[in-house]
Chains A and B, each alone.
Chain A
């Protein structure tokens, strides 16, 4: 669009399209920082002047101090890195188990109409149960340790991945499947070489969102009852009316989630190379 515009606008200032774009990008970044400063500054000033009660709502400087002390001296329930690792371990384990189960079941039901007719009703029922409620059952049944957290993460992930894998199989191009069959593919070869690759973009999209769900599952599980982890850290902070602690834990979880998201995006890029120019 910019290129098509009459040369006057850019040429007058003597700027190329690339320079204009770079300028705009800098402006956006500067404005974003300004928003952050205004919000945090307002919060801090509000807390300092008593407009916002820091006892209930925390204050940015307090959160920063808390984070710093967690990193340097550890938290009330042990070193910070250990809590992060415990939560990540549960989330990753749950994510893998849930994703594998979801993909396998989704493809099996997508490829077999009879299985789909039999199980679809149960999956619908399972999907309608609020999954957080299952957390309590898991803790009662599996105890306060890792298994109950992993189980909750698994169910959080399973339904999302299953739904997408199933849909992805149904969306696979009928002409491509017929072509492969005539070229000589067996049922298994059709599944492996046509159905799975064409469902892959659906599956990847679901993996993307479902890692966040695995993290939620692990944290909620810890929140409900645990001896370690980020969820316990939040629960402990909540129990001592430590608003700064709750916010600090939120920031740590946010950073971890963003890193995981970036990693998944990179993997997705590589698997979908044929789609890109």
Chain B
């Protein structure tokens, strides 16, 4: 790889600490290093509460690190960047707006004329299979449909850097598989970099070019696994592929050590 190519995201020696209610300092991230190349799909797995969401928040510019550097396309992150898209773990649609009005929110906030935004939004709703639901309110949709609205809402801005925080963890297995395929095909057409946080190791391996395993808190990247499964991938078939199973097993062993460590420390803290 030529050194002239700047990565989409670079975290260098990053630390993020919180003041815990008990008064002492709680380190979420410490000496955290990670690079994601342009157009690369990187998944992050790690024990619960280790600092995955915190990492995304730093890249998104929603929070600042106490030490180290966070860079987007070669420039330090100083606030929210227009090139970033973020699909949240929780529902973050505006419940008082219809599906269409939720999807046009991004372009309209950024100054596009409403009429023009509506035309683009309809294309995106078509692409995520919600053409007939543009006039519905979020509470009238299923969880999977709401996630697809969130995807359309994020993709319409054409993010060069897409952050996703366990976007499919609340969905049932069938819907999740469908959404994973949908995301892969959207990403295939669109080719931004992706930073994808998940609890589900299989999901990480099935979708990503590279899986980062984090340590228990304070989190650092413990190991990086390049995933050389061929693309385009179909999640449903790939799941039974020998090579996939081998990779997943290897990473699972690595992750298990950290999960046990995290459990041990939280048990200690309780005593």
Co-complex (A, B): yes
Point out the residues of chain B lying under 8 angstroms from A179, CB to CB: 86, 88, 92-93
Give B148 Cβ to nearest chain A Cβ, in Å: 15
CB <8 Å contact, A182 and B80: yes
> Quick check: is B90 within 8 A (CB to CB) of the other chain?
yes
CA distance A179 to B92 in the complex (A): 6
CB <8 Å contact, B96 and A198: yes
With both beta carbons as reference points, the residue of chain B lying nearest to A196 in the complex is identified as: B96
> Quick check: is B137 within 8 A (CB to CB) of the other chain?
yes
Point out the residues of chain B lying under 8 angstroms from A176, CB to CB: 92-94
CB <8 Å contact, A178 and B88: yes
A180-B94, A183-B157 given; A189·B109 CB < 8 A: yes
CA distance A179 to B97 in the complex (A): 14
CB <8 Å contact, B88 and A184: no
Give A155 Cβ to nearest chain B Cβ, in Å: 31
CB <8 Å contact, B137 and A184: no
With both beta carbons as reference points, the residue of chain A lying nearest to B156 in the complex is identified as: A183
CB <8 Å contact, B137 and A183: no
Point out the residues of chain A lying under 8 angstroms from B110, CB to CB: 184
A182-B60, A182-B85 given; A193·B94 CB < 8 A: yes
> Quick check: is A181 within 8 A (CB to CB) of the other chain?
yes
Give B91 Cβ to nearest chain A Cβ, in Å: 7
> Quick check: is B106 within 8 A (CB to CB) of the other chain?
yes
> Quick check: is A175 within 8 A (CB to CB) of the other chain?
yes
CB <8 Å contact, A178 and B62: yes
CB <8 Å contact, B62 and A183: no
Give A222 Cβ to nearest chain B Cβ, in Å: 40
User: B146-203: which residues lie under 8 A (CB-CB) from chain A?
Assistant: 153-154, 157
CA distance A185 to B60 in the complex (A): 14
With both beta carbons as reference points, the residue of chain A lying nearest to B159 in the complex is identified as: A182
User: A168-205: which residues lie under 8 A (CB-CB) from chain B?
Assistant: 173, 175-176, 178-186, 189, 193-194, 197-198, 200
> Quick check: is B105 within 8 A (CB to CB) of the other chain?
yes
Size range of the interface on A? Answer: 10 to 19
CB <8 Å contact, B92 and A184: no
A176-B92, A189-B109, A274-B95 given; A181·B80 CB < 8 A: yes
A179-B88, A180-B109 given; A274·B96 CB < 8 A: yes
Point out the residues of chain A lying under 8 angstroms from B153, CB to CB: 183
Chain B, residues 102-127, CB within 8 Å of chain A (1/0): the string is 00011101100000000000000000
Give which listed residue, A173, A193, A200, contacts B105 with CB less than 8 A: A193
> Quick check: is B82 within 8 A (CB to CB) of the other chain?
yes
CA distance A194 to B96 in the complex (A): 9
A184-B82, A185-B109, A274-B137 given; A175·B88 CB < 8 A: yes
CA distance A186 to B79 in the complex (A): 12
Point out the residues of chain A lying under 8 angstroms from B60, CB to CB: 182
Point out the residues of chain B lying under 8 angstroms from A197, CB to CB: 94, 96
CB <8 Å contact, A184 and B157: yes
Point out the residues of chain A lying under 8 angstroms from B72, CB to CB: none
> Quick check: is B208 within 8 A (CB to CB) of the other chain?
no
User: A45-99: which residues lie under 8 A (CB-CB) from chain B?
Assistant: none
> Quick check: is B207 within 8 A (CB to CB) of the other chain?
no
CB <8 Å contact, B105 and A183: yes
Give A111 Cβ to nearest chain B Cβ, in Å: 17
Chain A, residues 218-240, CB within 8 Å of chain B (1/0): the string is 00000000000000000000000
With both beta carbons as reference points, the residue of chain B lying nearest to A190 in the complex is identified as: B109
Point out the residues of chain B lying under 8 angstroms from A200, CB to CB: 96
Give A182 Cβ to nearest chain B Cβ, in Å: 5
CA distance A183 to B157 in the complex (A): 7
CB <8 Å contact, B92 and A178: yes
A175-B88, A175-B90, A178-B62 given; A183·B109 CB < 8 A: yes
Given A173-B92, A183-B154, A274-B97: 18 more A-B contacts, CB < 8 Å: A176-B94, A178-B88, A178-B92, A179-B88, A179-B92, A181-B80, A182-B60, A182-B84, A182-B85, A182-B86, A184-B107, A184-B110, A185-B105, A197-B94, A197-B96, A198-B96, A274-B137, A274-B139
B interface residues (Cβ-Cβ under 8 A, vs A): 60, 62, 80, 82, 84-86, 88, 90-97, 105-107, 109-110, 137, 139, 153-154, 157
A interface residues (Cβ-Cβ under 8 A, vs B): 173, 175-176, 178-186, 189, 193-194, 197-198, 200, 274
- Give me 15 A-to-B residue pairs in the complex whose CB atoms sit less than 8 angstroms apart, sorted by A's number: A175-B92, A176-B92, A176-B93, A178-B88, A179-B93, A182-B85, A182-B86, A183-B157, A184-B107, A194-B94, A197-B94, A197-B96, A200-B96, A274-B97, A274-B139
Question: Which 6 pairs, one residue from A and one from B, show the smallest C-beta to C-beta distance?
Answer: A179-B92, A183-B106, A184-B109, A184-B110, A175-B92, A185-B109
